[in-house]
Chains A and B, each alone.
Chain A
Amino acid sequence: MTPNALSGAWLIARKDLTIELRTRTAFLSALLFALLAIVIFYFSWDPTAVPASDLAPGVLWVIFTFSGLLGLHRSFGVEQQDRAIDGLLSAPVAREAIYLGKALANLVFVVGIQIVAIPAVALFYNVAVIPVAPALVAVALLAAVGLVAIGTLFSSMAVNTRLAELLLPMLSLPFFVPVVVPAAQATAKLLNGRPMAEVAVWLRLLGAFDIVFVAVCMLAFPFTIEE
């Protein structure tokens, strides 16, 4: 990864974030979706049988997964208009830089949702997140990297098919499992006040998965945008 590729990636991320900042359609709808889902999940369990704090970790990760997909779909969806992707491909940047830039913009998107959704879950589900905040941020960030690494690759594939919106979750969700399982487990342990050593195991697993997924998806990405 040369400095040139990194600055190329940064430029692409900035381009995507500027588009999103000016239109705000995807982010606001994903955010609204996340808040709605938080509320609806609350009513889909019997509150006398299951305490709300036990549901919170599961709710959080279901929401991040699905609202993240909304942003991921848009990631390469915006390049479809007027074949903007051709301009990107003919730009003097490496394919890996395009992947990194897209993934970085998607990461900002998912983290943006987390910044609102985690306090919302803390509020509605009456969970004390302040004492475990640093560790929770680490879990959320590590898992977001994994989700985005996988989702960016599949987004680039799905937009070129006839079933774009449907195919992205169909392809991504099975691959999200190894990320969501440790993330949800770590979140549950944190919110239940378990010792840090139990959480650290899952954090290390998440970190290892992230490294593999980012590397593999970056290697596979150039094959999805050959013309």
Chain B
Amino acid sequence: MTGSVAVGDTPGSRTRTGIAPVVDWFLVAASAAVVGTLVRAVAFTPVEMRQGPAQKIFYIHAPAAWVAFLAFGLVAISGLLYLWLRDPRLDRFAESSAEVGVVFTTVVLITGPMWGRPVWGTWWTWDARLTLTLFLWFVYAGYLVLRGAIDNQEQRARYSAVLGALGALLIPFIHLSVYLFRTLHPQPIVMKPGAPSLPGEMLVTLLIAFASFTLLYVALLRARYRLAEARGALAYQEGGDA
């Protein structure tokens, strides 16, 4: 995490360390897509009958949750692949994805209570999915702290790969153990057996939101990966000098 010297760096980190472009056009495009989606969600999508304007937060909350789960899933997969292939690029990918994932989980955890208060009448409830999201945030925030507390590049990659993979494994266990509590959270409305139970126009906006948030994830991941690569190269040079 920090720019400290990593002695055990491998030559693989020297590859492709071109100077980052001044403007990341991909990131600009992805941000514009998200802004466009939100404009559509607020201005051009019908207001939900019972929840009123509060329901608009749905178009941030749900896609952000999707991106968070995608990001952590990829952290786990790249962690497992790292333990097998020992390619430092996999570690840099996992690091980038975890950081972006924590940001999106934070968005989920902030927008959730904002939506829950007017609709459920409570900011928070210990429902299985809320608890799960909170603990995912804890695990992967801890993942980032762990990375910051190890200087050796190889050891850091190995430890975080173990934690990244275990974090994904934790999901079914927390879900199972908390499931007993009756759930307030709405059941899946798009990815479920049978037809989606959302009016056409809202569904279109939601699907656009999923697409644009995923695009933003890829753009942020790309930018963060470039940073990780530059840091790896710097550490390698400093390690080589010492």
Contacts and interface: CB of A to CB of B under 8 A. Distances in A.
Interface of A: 153, 157, 160-163, 167, 170-171, 173-175, 177-178, 181-182, 185, 205, 209, 212, 216, 220, 223-224, 226
A170 B169 CA distance: 17
B221 interface: no
Contacts of A205: 176-177
Contacts of A174: 135, 138-139, 142, 170
Nearest to B143: A171
Contacts of A177: 135, 174, 177
A185 to B, nearest CB: 8
What 3 A-B pairs have minimum CB-CB distances, sorted nearest first?
A178-B173, A161-B149, A181-B177
Contact of A209 (B166, B173, B180): B173
B155 interface: yes
B203 interface: no
Interface stretch (B18-26, B68-76, B156-164, B205-213): B156-164
- Give the most central of A175, A182, A226: most B CB within 10 Å: A175
B184 interface: no
Given A160-B155, A209-B173, A223-B161, A171 B178 contact: no
A72 B138 CA distance: 20
A167 B146 contact: yes
Given A163-B145, A178-B176, A205-B177, A171 B163 contact: yes
Given A161-B146, A178-B173, A178-B177, 20 more contacts: A157-B163, A160-B155, A162-B151, A167-B145, A170-B142, A170-B145, A171-B142, A171-B163, A175-B170, A177-B174, A177-B177, A178-B174, A178-B176, A181-B177, A181-B178, A182-B177, A216-B166, A220-B162, A223-B83, A223-B162
B81 interface: no
SS of A interface (majority): helix
B150 interface: yes
Contacts, number: 65
6 contacts: A163-B149, A174-B138, A175-B166, A177-B177, A178-B177, A212-B173
A114 B236 CA distance: 49
A185 B142 CA distance: 27
Interface residues of B, number: 26
Contacts of B176: 178, 205
B170 A178 contact: yes
A215 to B, nearest CB: 11
A168 B155 CA distance: 17
A220 B177 CA distance: 23
A63 to B, nearest CB: 20
Contact of B159 (A162, A181, A224): A224
Contacts of A224: 158-159, 162
A162 B149 contact: yes
B169 A216 contact: yes
Contacts of B142: 167, 170-171, 174
Nearest to A150: B166
A209 B173 CA distance: 8
- Give the most central of A174, A181, A182, A226: most B CB within 10 Å: A174
A69 B236 CA distance: 36
A94 B102 CA distance: 37
B177 to A, nearest CB: 4
A220 B166 contact: yes
Contacts of B138: 173-174
A197 to B, nearest CB: 15
